[in-house]
Chain A
Amino acid sequence: MSAFNDDVRLAGEAIWKVLLVSAVLGAGLPAVFALGIRSLAWGTGGEARAGSTSPGRSGSPVGKVLAVFLFVVVAYAIVAGLIYIIASGQGKDISFSHVVPTIGGTS
């Protein structure tokens, strides 16, 4: 049954990596997105906060800029994910070492 044990060991190694990547990307990106929405609400001001006592308050431009920045981060990650799917479907390697993902040669 050593082949069985090998399978379990290999799966164990893979699962940890998958869990790590999923926790960082799968939970991290939505959190960044949530920060963006919070910034947007801050930037818009007024009634953005539930139960706000000063309905006429104007928003902060910093909040709007921050929101746009955070949304761009999330959009970049999604586009990178798309490029990754497409590139790996074509059997290509892909490098994220530059800011713009670059498709390398056939792996």
Chain B
Amino acid sequence: MLVLVVVTALGFDFTNGFHDTGNAMAASIATGALKPRLAVALSAAMNLLGAFLSVAVALTVTNAVVKTFDSTATSASQALTVPGDKLLSIVLAGLIGGIVWNLLTWLLGLPSSSSHALFGGLMGAAIAAIGWNGVNWVGDGTKLDGVVGKVLLPAVASPVVAAIAAGIGTWLIYRITVGVAARFSESGFRWGQIGTASLVSLAHGTNDAQKTMGVVTLALIATGHWDHLDSIPFWVKLICAASIALGTYLGGWRIIRTLGKGLVEIESPQGVAAEASSAAVILASSHLGFALSTTHVATGSIVGTGLGKPGAEVRWAVAGRMVVGWLLTLPAAGVVGAAMWGIGNLFGLAAGSIVQFVILVAVAGYLYARSRRQPVGAHNVNDAWDAGTTSPTIPTGAAA
């Protein structure tokens, strides 16, 4: 069962990687600053590097939303507040909820937050397993914690903050370079984009790979295979870093397309403004302990560049679809997580986990087969956006 949890966690890490490639690279790909293949390779390398660079312990990441762990405990075996095998099945159900939602939104080309998908899945499974008290809804008043402080408030604030910063940046850039020949501004800003996009990828690797490392380590503690609260086994770090990098390299082309072409027609100067403000928002907030989703920041930034450039158009219909997707992420992943826990409980903890895993493979296979009907890849990621169909990436009849 532990092996299943680890494999599922790596699966989540993998979907996290390809789901979020667009956050860093969509603007660079859309403006032609980087060739699509090169962009995802650079992003993957930066994610791999970022995952290794961060050694801060992420064990408490799940604790922000579910009460499974007593952070005041001094030894790992005492820290668990629920029995190990029950915790393991909550984690497994939560991970499956996160993966299913990530794959579904990827099929629809919607950039949604992978962290929210994971948190939603875990919350759903915890509510089903322990009850409403199993979820850490609010903080204790001394620092930002719980679902409200770590998930909901940042989700509302971060796209707005990013949009404001990117809007100001875009406006300034166009004011300053007015009248400068295109051969200077285009090529110059392309270089700027490569630098800023790399920063965003690196920051993503340090933040997101850590979450999976924390989950895997939690599972190891639950089964008694690991007994340190202040460190993560090296092999866990290695496979998590490799898994998120591989996912990034494969590239979530559908999401890259939506972010890079669907929201706003991006030019190089806008790309620089978007990625610089994404990097600034992510770094500033991680410094201040304000947890946020890279996806929300990147989307906000891109909308901001559309607002800041005189005469540019923001496709609000596309932006609206994204917001709906974001609102649904927590509850939808939660429902899947809760259902998975229920199924697991029905068959007993050990047999149930195998049933859950089989269901996950079947759903993932179906969604993948569905995606092959209208593939989006490096070859057509930058094709003109057809406003009539909203998004060519949606198979007819699957929009609902």
Task: Tell me the complex Cα distance, A19–B158, Å.
Answer: 9
B214 to chain A, nearest CB (A): 14
Assuming the contacts A31-B173, A35-B176, A82-B199, asked whether A7 and B269 have C-beta atoms less than 8 A apart, the reply is no
Task: Tell me the complex Cα distance, A103–B145, Å.
Answer: 28
Q: Which of B148, B162, B180, B203 contacts A50 (CB 8 A)?
A: B180
Assuming the contacts A11-B149, A18-B288, asked whether A6 and B165 have C-beta atoms less than 8 A apart, the reply is no
Task: Tell me the complex Cα distance, A17–B287, Å.
Answer: 10
Judge whether B180 and A26 touch: CB under 8 Å. no
Judge whether B281 and A85 touch: CB under 8 Å. no
Size category of the B interface is 35 or more
Task: Tell me the complex Cα distance, A74–B276, Å.
Answer: 11
Judge whether B168 and A23 touch: CB under 8 Å. yes
Judge whether A3 and B288 touch: CB under 8 Å. no
Judge whether B172 and A29 touch: CB under 8 Å. no
Task: Kindly report which residue of chain A lies nearest to residue B292, judged by CB atoms.
Answer: A18
Residues of B contacting A2 in the complex (Cβ-Cβ under 8 angstroms)? 141
Residues of A contacting B168 in the complex (Cβ-Cβ under 8 angstroms)? 23, 27
Judge whether B281 and A26 touch: CB under 8 Å. yes
Residues of A contacting B164 in the complex (Cβ-Cβ under 8 angstroms)? 19, 22-23
Q: Which of B140, B181, B289, B290 contacts A3 (CB 8 A)?
A: B140
Q: Which of B161, B185, B192, B278 contacts A18 (CB 8 A)?
A: B161
Binary CB contact string for chain B from 23 to 52 against chain A (1 if under 8 A, 0 otherwise): 000000000000000000000000000100
Judge whether A49 and B141 touch: CB under 8 Å. no
Q: Residue A66 at the B interface, CB < 8 A?
A: no
Task: Tell me the complex Cα distance, A6–B286, Å.
Answer: 20
Residues of B contacting A15 in the complex (Cβ-Cβ under 8 angstroms)? 157, 161, 290
Residues of A contacting B55 in the complex (Cβ-Cβ under 8 angstroms)? 89-91
Task: Kindly report which residue of chain A lies nearest to residue B286, judged by CB atoms.
Answer: A88
A70 to chain B, nearest CB (A): 11
Judge whether A4 and B166 touch: CB under 8 Å. no
Residues of A contacting B94 in the complex (Cβ-Cβ under 8 angstroms)? none
Binary CB contact string for chain B from 308 to 324 against chain A (1 if under 8 A, 0 otherwise): 00000000000000000
Residues of B contacting A4 in the complex (Cβ-Cβ under 8 angstroms)? 138, 148
Q: Residue A78 at the B interface, CB < 8 A?
A: yes
Assuming the contacts A22-B284, A30-B276, A34-B269, asked whether A10 and B195 have C-beta atoms less than 8 A apart, the reply is no
Residues of B contacting A49 in the complex (Cβ-Cβ under 8 angstroms)? 179-181
Residues of B contacting A61 in the complex (Cβ-Cβ under 8 angstroms)? none
Residues of A contacting B161 in the complex (Cβ-Cβ under 8 angstroms)? 15, 18-19, 22
Binary CB contact string for chain B from 270 to 289 against chain A (1 if under 8 A, 0 otherwise): 00110011111101111111
Judge whether A85 and B203 touch: CB under 8 Å. yes
Interface of chain A: mostly helix, strand, loop or mixed = helix
Q: Residue B182 at the A interface, CB < 8 A?
A: yes
Q: Which of A38, A78, A84 contacts B195 (CB 8 A)?
A: A78
Chain B 139-175 interface residues, beta-carbon cutoff 8 Å to A: 139-146, 148-149, 153-154, 157-158, 161-162, 164-166, 168-169, 172-173
Residues of B contacting A84 in the complex (Cβ-Cβ under 8 angstroms)? 283, 287
Judge whether A26 and B53 touch: CB under 8 Å. no
Task: Tell me the complex Cα distance, A63–B146, Å.
Answer: 53
Residues of B contacting A47 in the complex (Cβ-Cβ under 8 angstroms)? 181
Task: Kindly report which residue of chain B lies nearest to residue A78, judged by CB atoms.
Answer: B195
Task: Tell me the complex Cα distance, A33–B149, Å.
Answer: 35
Task: Kindly report which residue of chain A lies nearest to residue B199, judged by CB atoms.
Answer: A81
Q: Residue B101 at the A interface, CB < 8 A?
A: no
Judge whether B185 and A22 touch: CB under 8 Å. no
Judge whether A3 and B56 touch: CB under 8 Å. no
Assuming the contacts A3-B141, A11-B153, A81-B199, asked whether A27 and B181 have C-beta atoms less than 8 A apart, the reply is no
Residues of A contacting B182 in the complex (Cβ-Cβ under 8 angstroms)? 50
Task: Kindly report which residue of chain A lies nearest to residue B281, judged by CB atoms.
Answer: A22
Task: Tell me the complex Cα distance, A81–B273, Å.
Answer: 16
Residues of B contacting A44 in the complex (Cβ-Cβ under 8 angstroms)? 184
Chain B residues with a Cβ under 8 A of chain A = 50, 53-56, 138-146, 148-149, 153-154, 157-158, 161-162, 164-166, 168-169, 172-173, 176-177, 179-182, 184-185, 188-189, 192, 195-196, 199, 202-203, 206, 269, 272-273, 276-281, 283-290
Chain A residues with a Cβ under 8 A of chain B = 2-4, 6-8, 10-11, 14-15, 17-19, 21-23, 25-31, 33-38, 40-41, 44, 47-52, 74-75, 78, 81-82, 84-86, 88-91
Kindly list 11 other residue pairs between chains A and B, CB separation below 8 angstroms, not including A6-B140, A15-B290, A26-B165: A3-B141, A14-B289, A21-B280, A25-B276, A27-B277, A30-B273, A37-B180, A37-B188, A38-B177, A85-B50, A89-B206
Q: Which 10 A-B pairs have the closest CB atoms?
A: A26-B277, A26-B280, A27-B169, A89-B54, A6-B141, A26-B165, A21-B284, A27-B168, A7-B149, A11-B153
